[in-house]
Amino acid sequence: MLDPRVLLDPATDAVRKLARRGFALDVTSLEKLLAGRNSAIQRGDEARSESKRVAAAVKAAGRGGDPQERDALVARARELKGVVAAAEEEHRELEAELQDFLLGVPNLPSDDLPDGASDEDAEQVRVWGEPAQLDFTPLDHVDIGEKLGILDLPRATKLAGPRFAVLRGKGAALERAIARYLLDLHTQQHGYTEWSVPTLVNRVTMTGTGQLPKFEQDLFKTGVADRELYLIPTAEVPLTNLHAKETLAVEDLPLAYTAHTPCFRSEAGSYGRDTRGLIRLHEFSKVELVRIVDAETSRAELEVLLSHAEAAMQGLGLAYRVVRLAAGDIGFSAEYTYDIEVWLPGQQKYREISSVSDFGTFQARRAGIRTKAKDGRRGFAATLNGSGLPVGRTLVAILEQGQQADGSVRIPDALVPYTGFTELTP
């Protein structure tokens, strides 16, 4: 969430920046809400001040003063009490309207991002690894998985419908191995603290990271007794909100957290896209990376976070590239985003496997994550998150990049200690 004063400050140039991501800021409505709220606050403060003076005058008039004057003062005191109550009610209503307005405004994209609104407008930053030159026609991961006997989509559809998957045998073992490798890498080499967190969270938690109210249609909603709960779309949600409504000491930052969780997404609006296989499922698992940092260091911390996600790719020997997303293609809460795209021989193209984003203080303002420095300076933290990595898409990349002419798949060396096998065979 953004400070309304910042949005209206000409120096911020918020209208132009938001237009780059296709959002038209209604300045008139914002000014009206802010002016109305401030007016209600001022009226209430003035009435309370006068009420104190009248109360003192009533007390003085009671000590031998004019009874008529005292009655008039008592009547004025009652009147002022009503003025205060009305001003407070108006303030509450306008504050709620202002908060609803601000919750619908996305973050300001960085001026460093390219213009555009699709993945075709992204800028390539670097390429790592050479896509293998295969002397046979590569298969996609679905055909590979079915020939190997490790992927069963028909039975998944029988169990839950489209966009679910069942892995068996060495496929399930490989999935588990990927998650263990990623957790060990990030906790033992990159300094992340592992958490086990709920996959059901409340509305306040979802609002804190920006999933609500904007993206309610993309979430799976349920309930327990009288509680409204949502299945998390990513571990970013509970990990970031661990410190909601808290004040963190700047000297204790950065905080680096990771968790392996199932993730649930309705994929509303994406039907017809990636309906085959493991690329876009309703349920998948992911190892997420979250960093909570001093706001002044967030962009440098984004490079650190990116390097950790890249290290996972490089450790698995997967060819990939890094791209800088266009201003109109970043997420609602982000101000700057890199995508890591892995090479998929079966599609003959790079496909997104990880996004790492700097949210600035946007999420921290929503969640109430504040900071305090030793010199007394107070502010909001900055938050960052990235996939480090999604298990399903990593498995897809391993199947496609590791496929051999005889139908077998070579397992990355880094995973062999976790799998106990070096290849998958039909």
**In the block, residue with structure tokens 């419908």:** 161
Contact between residue 291 and residue 383 where contact means Cβ atoms under 8 Å apart: yes
**Binding site members for L-serine:** 234-236, 288, 387
List CB contacts of 47: < 8 A, sequence separation 6 or more.
80, 83, 84, 87
The catalytically annotated residue of 48, 70, 180, 280 is: 280
Of 351, 355, 357, 400, which residue is the catalytic one? 355
Specify whether 265 is catalytic. yes
- What single-letter amino acid sits at 158? K
Q: How many CB atoms lie within 10 A of CB 81?
A: 14
Residue 355: active-site member: yes
Annotation: binding site for ATP: 265-267, 352-355
Q: Is 393 a residue of the active site?
A: yes
Q: Which of 365, 366, 393, 400 is catalytic?
A: 393
3-state secondary structure at position 51: helix
- Measure the CA–CA gap between 206 and 192, rounded to whole angstroms: 23
Helices (H) and strands (E) in the chain, counts: 13, 16
Tokens 């306040």 -> residue: 204
Known catalytic membership, residue 280: yes
C-alpha distances (whole Å) from 308 to each of 26, 183, 191, 286, 355 are 39, 12, 10, 15, 12
Q: Which of 163, 265, 291, 351 is catalytic?
A: 265
Q: Is 49 a catalytic residue?
A: no
Catalytically annotated residue among 50, 90, 283, 352: 352
Task: Characterize the bridge pairing of strands 409-410 and 320-324.
Answer: unpaired
Residue 341 pairs with which residues in a beta bridge? 321, 352
SS3 109: coil
Q: Report the binding-site residues.
A: 234-236, 265-267, 288, 352-355, 387
Q: Classify strands 370-372 and 378-380 as parallel, antiparallel or unpaired.
A: antiparallel
Amino acid type, 423: E
Catalytic center residues:
265, 280, 352, 355, 393
